Structures are given as C-alpha cells and as structure tokens.
Amino acid sequence: MKHTFLFHISWFIVTCCSLLLSTSAMAQLLGERVQINSSILQQTRDIQVVLPENYSADKHTNYPVLYVLDGDYNINSVAAMLDFMGNRAQLIPDMIVVGIADKGTDTYRQNMTPEVLTAPFKEKPQGKAEPFLAFINQELKPYMQQHYRTANNDILFGQSIGGLFVLNTLINQPQSFTTFLAVSPALWLNQHAFSQHTRQLLSQSSNLNANLYLSLGDETRMGVYGFVEVLDDVQPKQLTWSFKRYPNENHNSVGMVALRDNLSQLFAPWSITESELNQLQDPHMLVNHYVKLMQQWQINQAIPTPVIKALIRYFYRQQRVDEVNEFVDKAVQQLPASAGALIMMQASYLGYSQSVEAELALLLIHQQQFKTLISYQQAIASAYEKTDNLALAHDYYRQARQQAIKQNSPQWLLNILDVKIAATQTQ
C-alpha cells in the first residue's frame, strides 16, 4: 500500500512538472504580451513580441522586425517558421516578430479597409486603415525601437483583408516599411475598386523604393490579377516586386508557404550552400560579402555557422595555417557579432591539429568577453572534459545552464546541459 501511494505521488509530481515545462515552452513561443495606450485610436492595443532565441546572448546585435497583422491568429505559425528559418536552418537572419492583435473580427476588418472602400458586410464606407496605420507608424514602431534592439528594416505581413492593408500602405505610405508581403489580398471589395484607385496613384508616384511580394492561393475571386495588371502597365519606379500563384494551396494554407518563399527570396544572399562553400577561393571576399549584407539590411548579427566553419577550414585545406590568427583578428573587427563563433571555430581546429590544451588556452583568453554566450561556455566545458578535468568541466556546464535559464533557452538545450552536468559530477 505504501509503495502504491508513493508511486501515485511520484506520478503526480512528474505530470505536474511536464505540464509546467509544456507551459514554459508555449510561453517562450508566444513571447511577451504588451499593451500600448494609443492616443490615435483612443484605446489600448495588445501586441505579442517574440524575440530570437539568442537575443539575450549579445547586447550589440539588432534584428529586422516582421509586423504581423491578425497577430493572435498568426503568431504561433509565424514565430515557429522564423525560428526554424533563422535560428535552426540559418537560411535568413534572425528576426523579431510582432503580432498586432485584433479587437474582434468586425473591428479588424474595418481597420484593414482603406477609407475609400466599404468594409466587408457594411452598407457604407467604414474603412479605418489610415488611423490604424498612423498607430503603427507613430506609436507601435517607436515603442519597439525604444524597448528592443530593432534594425532599421521593417517588414509588413498580411493575408486576405490584411493583405489589402499591406497594399494600401505600400501605395499611400511606402516609406513605412522596407518590404511588403501581401498574401491573397482581398481586392474584390467594392467591385475591385482598389485596383482602379491604385492605377491613378501609381501613375503619379515618382518613387516607391520598396520590395513587394504578392502571393495567391488556388483562388479566382480575390481580384489579384487586376492589381498585377496595373503593376505591369504602370511599372512603378524603384518598386521591386514579384507575384506567385500557388495552385496547390487554398486560402488558409497559402500564408505560411508564401511567407517562407518570400523571406527566402528576400534574404537569399544570407545562406550559402555547402557545395559553394567547399569551392571557396577567397575567404576575405566572403567576409566582405557579409559586411555588405549587414550594411544593406542595416543589421548586426552573427553570420551562419557553416560559413564560419568554411572560413577557418580554408586555411587548413590550403596549408596556410600560419595566416589564421591574422585573418580571424581582421574578421572579428569587420563582423563583431561573429567574434565568439569565429574564435570557437578557430579553437576547435586548434584542438584537432595541435592539442586540446591549445584549444582550451585560446578559449580561456576570451572567456570574459563571451561569458553570456552559452555555446562558448559549453566549448570551454567540453575542452576541460577532453582533458579529464571533470571538476572544471562541471563548473562550466553549470555556468552555461545558468545562462540558459536567464536567457529563457529552450528545453532541449537544458536537457543537454543537465546530462553533461550529471556526467561530470565528481562526487
């Protein structure tokens, strides 16, 4: 009886812990709920801010911001997509996601509809897109710039009636965002009046200076082709645009598929294939490539790990190892956000080519500079573990875990560190 009672108590504790972990993981995905008192809209507006996983590791980095309309509906899918594309696959730079919450379907539709049009299921013009855009430009974006490390690179994403808002913003206030992503926009309103209105505005516009990615699912009544025809006829100056139809996607499924394609195309130079990296001829040119991208996109982030590996590997393959130190020193100056990753990779190759002691010595020289970088603490711990100094390995794994807790790192990383802490326990 006693054993049965203890079993049920243990099962209850494990279940509660599992639920807490699940809740914690969900909270991380959803990010932070923020309320903004809008004097323009005369109401309190909710937004959901999801930061990149490594946001807290380096206080000198900054990030493009993706503003997502119909935020509460889209935030989980979009945040997961960007975490995969940026943090996991490193296909694009890491980004901050801002989900702009609604206040019910009717209010949302009115806020997305231009003043010159009538919102769906309304009998007279009810469009309130202009004051809602003013809220975004004059209150939301300044809030984000004040409280988060945002780059001067803003992207607006909307689907259906939200896609209409995206296009209306592009036509009337193109300086609001760098890039506009409109998926299956509801251009059918008022007998396709928006496309007709747009033709006149675009003909008078001298400079849009923006990127537009326009997408459509397997739909025939959205009115998108009429807008594409306007773009083809007018050829707006300095508007880089593309249109893609997805015949195998419906109105609900096309959003995430189009978003992935749009971001992949927008940030295409960020990711370099393994086959291309294997044919690297000039590491200095590759560094300059990313320096130019940082300037063009106005961001400061660590470059993809496969690129860093290829940079260091080049000198070993070409038997020019004596040039590595000078190269890394210069690359660190040009790409400061990649400093920790470059030094870790340099140390790793030292460990293979010379000794673990040489690897550890290099890591320890810079440990204070990268004390908040979890992977750097792991690298030191791993080096100590290879030298059978389990006590110091244990200490550094614990330090890495403490940083992971502070930075709200994902559970899988905590699991890895817990295993390492237990394996290096000497008493």
Task: Give span(s): CATH 3.40.50.1820, the chain.
Answer: 31-267
Tokens describing residue 220 = 């025939």
Helix axes 305-317, 283-297, angle to 10 degrees: 160
Q: What are phi and psi of 38, to 5 degrees?
A: -90, 120
Distance CA 66, CA 298 (A): 14
CB 342 within 8 A of CB 331: yes
CB 195 within 8 A of CB 227: yes
CB 216 within 8 A of CB 254: yes
> Residue 241: how many CB atoms within 10 A of its CB?
18
Amino acid 198: pLDDT: 85
Distance CA 77, CA 385 (A): 39
- pTM metric for this prediction: 0.90
Tokens describing residue 29 = 């995905």
Tokens describing residue 311 = 């940079």
Distance CA 129, CA 214 (A): 19
| DSSP codes, 77-96 | HHHHHHIIIIIIS-SS---E
Amino acid 348: pLDDT: 97
Tokens describing residue 135 = 């809220």
CB 297 within 8 A of CB 151: yes
Amino acid 127: pLDDT: 84
SS3 39: coil
Length of the chain: 427
**Chain center to CA of 164:** 24
> Residue 425: how many CB atoms within 10 A of its CB?
11
Q: What fold, for 31-267?
A: Rossmann fold (3.40.50)
Phi and psi based region of residue 88 (left: phi greater than 0; alpha: psi -120 to 50; beta: remaining): alpha
Distance CA 9, CA 401 (A): 28
**Of 254, 110, 259, 118, residue with least CA distance to 188:** 118
**Of 241, 232, 213, 260, residue with least CA distance to 92:** 260
Phi and psi based region of residue 26 (left: phi greater than 0; alpha: psi -120 to 50; beta: remaining): alpha
pLDDT tens, N- to C-terminus, the chain (427 residues): 444 444 344 444 434 444 444 444 444 447 899 999 999 999 999 999 999 999 999 999 999 999 999 999 999 999 999 999 999 999 999 999 999 999 888 889 999 999 877 666 566 667 899 999 999 999 999 999 999 999 999 999 999 999 999 999 999 999 999 999 999 999 988 777 888 888 888 877 767 889 999 999 999 889 999 999 999 998 888 899 999 999 999 999 999 999 999 999 999 999 999 999 999 999 999 999 999 999 999 999 999 999 999 999 999 999 999 999 999 999 999 999 999 999 999 999 999 999 999 999 999 999 999 999 999 999 999 999 999 999 999 999 999 999 999 999 999 999 999 999 999 998 6
Task: Give span(s): CATH 1.25.40.10, the chain.
Answer: 270-423
**Of 97, 35, 47, residue with least CA distance to 72:** 47
Distance CA 415, CA 25 (A): 13
Question: Is 270-423 assigned to CATH 1.10.10.60?
Answer: no
CA angle 416, 395, 22 (to 5 degrees): 30
Q: Are strands 43-50 and 32-38 parallel, antiparallel or unpaired?
A: antiparallel
Amino acid 206: pLDDT: 65
Round to the nearest angstrom and report the end-to-end CA distance of the chain.
35
